[in-house]
Amino acid sequence: MSQAIPVLILKEGSQRTTGRDARRSNIYAARVIAEALATSLGPRGMDKLLIDSFGNATITGDGATILKEIEVQHPAAKMLVEVAKAQDDEVGDGTTSVVVLAGQFLVRAGELLDEEVHPSLIVEGFEKAMEYAVKVIDEIAEPVDPFNREVLKNVASTALSSKIVAEYRDFLSSLVVDAALQVVEKKDGKYDLSLDNVKVEKKKGESIMETSLVKGIVLDKEVVHPAMPKRIEKARIALLDAPLEVEKPEWTAKINVTSPDQLRQFLEQEATILRSMVEKIKATGANVVFCQKGIDDLAQYYLAKAGILAVRRVKKSDMEKLARATGAKIVTNVDDISPDVLGYAELVEERKVADEKMVFVEGCPNPKAVTILVRGGAEHIVDEAERAVHDALSVVRNVIREPKIVAGGGAVEIELALKLAEFARKLPSKEQLAVLKYAEALEVIPSILAQTAGMEPVDVITELRRRHAAGEKWAGVDVINGRIADMLKLNVIEPALVKKQVIKSATEAAVMILRIDDIIAAAPPKEKKKGEEKKEEEEKTEGTSTSFD
């Protein structure tokens, strides 16, 4: 009788989970992440205090930031973190909603799996529900004028209402809309707003009400030489992507100096080169120089003598913003500088902001890049205000890109749930179950909003279903006043683009996790004991040592 030979396929220490156990593990991980984020949803949502391994604390209610800061271990949970990041990169808002929904889709799918419904049928049902939901959003969304300041302000204000800085939302949304409308551009017949053209600079100190919009650029730099002017009106600005230094040769070179005269001539030659560089800049009429590279000490002296204000080592991204704001062209060689490449600003000034010097370039004629200088009482507040401004800018950009809006407060989700329940009746039996579970999952958003406002979720959902069935498509949870109201009339509005992206991203994440039926995890690398490490080091040293007789 032949003896069975054990066959090792996976590496020793590998772990394998298959079928139902694999799905259950993934669904549980996604559910934990979704539940952690659920309480921070909406204007009455709570914030999280996150402490990293170095002891640095972050206080935030922003979904993307929470997920970025917590170190997630489980691979399925990591997928949700990726989805939130993609949502943030794509539309800049709705990160909490997308994770909460993805988690709920998976919980509902788990219920169907327990009823022996095959994952492929659930996936098919979810994908059909997603396509139908996106279509419904397009149908019910209200078209708006993308340059209507009131609409844009309300959209920005809704995005800010769930942040720590919510009490300043009217003030901040005004700033954001002013900044956005200043830099919006028409491309291929469509309007677009690039967030790169709105620089958000932050400095702690003062209060959030001191946050200001500068129609120009603010640089976190100082003037290079104390003798230079600190304020220049009617500035003619040169942007240099070249060092104001005598360039070193690329190869190693030695200069043999045999007498002090030769050394003096060598230094004089260096000074002559630097002087001629400064003369060229001065001849164009420039009185402000922003340099991406270094400026030699001697060149600084000559620039100061010529009454030119200079700043060195400016970031490439800031140089591009300066070019857009002032109309200057970036020059890569001092020899190419001429009056027609200079930009203009009413004022360039070095100011002290919170014990640090900053250079303000303001009063540009038609700036296509602007700066929002965020202030706040503490580091945490300034950081959170910066994140809030980013989200508000993103939603304004979304409305400019696709001028359609929907109401907030869970109104869209309830409307979608209602429409999906009707749509489910037209589908084959088991897919119908998947679409109905999908609709149920959507109702979790208004349910969480009601919960955070201290309302009774079951009563709220029942009342919302009744109102939507009666044709009130914008009835939602008025979290601030703890009642159900027409959210459009309350100006709680969101871009349709964000809602569609939330539905797509959450469904895709859930589907991806549902398709997994096998988890094969490699063994983690073994930690060597100190004695073994020492022995290995000695062996290595012996092997590499060379002796000479």
pLDDT value at position 333? 85
Encode pLDDT of 216-247 as tens digits. 888 888 888 888 888 888 889 999 888 887 77
Among the listed residues 88, 93, 318, 391, the single catalytic one is 391
Q: If you average pLDDT over every residue of the chain, what do you get?
A: 82
Is the model more confident about 399 or about 70? Answer: 399
Q: How far apart are the first and last CA of the chain?
A: 64
Tell me which residue has tokens 């857009």: 324
- Residue 546: pLDDT band (50, 70, 90) is very low
**Can you tell me the mean pLDDT for 59-85?**
78
Residue among 520, 514, 518 nearest 117 (CA): 514
Encode pLDDT of 169-218 as tens digits. 888 889 999 888 888 887 777 787 888 888 888 888 888 888 888 888 88
pLDDT value at position 548? 43
Tokens for 182? 């200043």
- Residue 524: pLDDT band (50, 70, 90) is low
**Can you tell me the mean pLDDT for 83-98?**
82
Is the model more confident about 419 or about 165? Answer: 419
537, pLDDT greater than 60: no
Residue among 178, 202, 212, 220 nearest 318 (CA): 220
358, pLDDT greater than 80: yes
Q: Does the annotation mark 96 as catalytic?
A: yes
For strands 198-204 and 493-495, give the pairing.
unpaired
CB 44 within 8 A of CB 492: no
> Phi first, then psi: what are they for 62, rounded to 5°?
-80, 120
pLDDT value at position 290? 92
- Residue 249: pLDDT band (50, 70, 90) is low
The rounded distance, in Å, linking the Cα atoms of 288 and 34 is: 52
Encode pLDDT of 23-47 as tens digits. 777 778 788 888 888 888 878 878 8
pLDDT value at position 482? 82
Q: Does the annotation mark 88 as catalytic?
A: no
- Which helix (H) or strand (E) segment is 304 a member of? helix 297-305
**Can you tell me the mean pLDDT for 303-330?**
89
CB 328 within 8 A of CB 342: yes
The rounded distance, in Å, linking the Cα atoms of 180 and 202 is: 18
* Cβ neighbour number for residue 434 with a 10 Å cutoff: 25
Encode pLDDT of 371-382 as tens digits. 898 888 888 888
- Which helix (H) or strand (E) segment is 192 a member of? strand 190-192
Encode pLDDT of 284-303 as tens digits. 888 889 998 888 888 888 88
Among the listed residues 96, 211, 326, 371, the single catalytic one is 96
- Residue 94: pLDDT band (50, 70, 90) is confident
**Can you tell me the mean pLDDT for 428-456?**
86
pLDDT value at position 335? 84
Q: Which residues have a Cβ under 8 Å from the Cβ of 79 and sit 6 or more positions away?
A: 30, 509, 512, 513
Among the listed residues 39, 58, 60, 62, the single catalytic one is 62
Q: Does the annotation mark 391 as catalytic?
A: yes
Among the listed residues 95, 158, 371, 507, the single catalytic one is 95
- Residue 276: pLDDT band (50, 70, 90) is confident
- Residue 258: pLDDT band (50, 70, 90) is confident
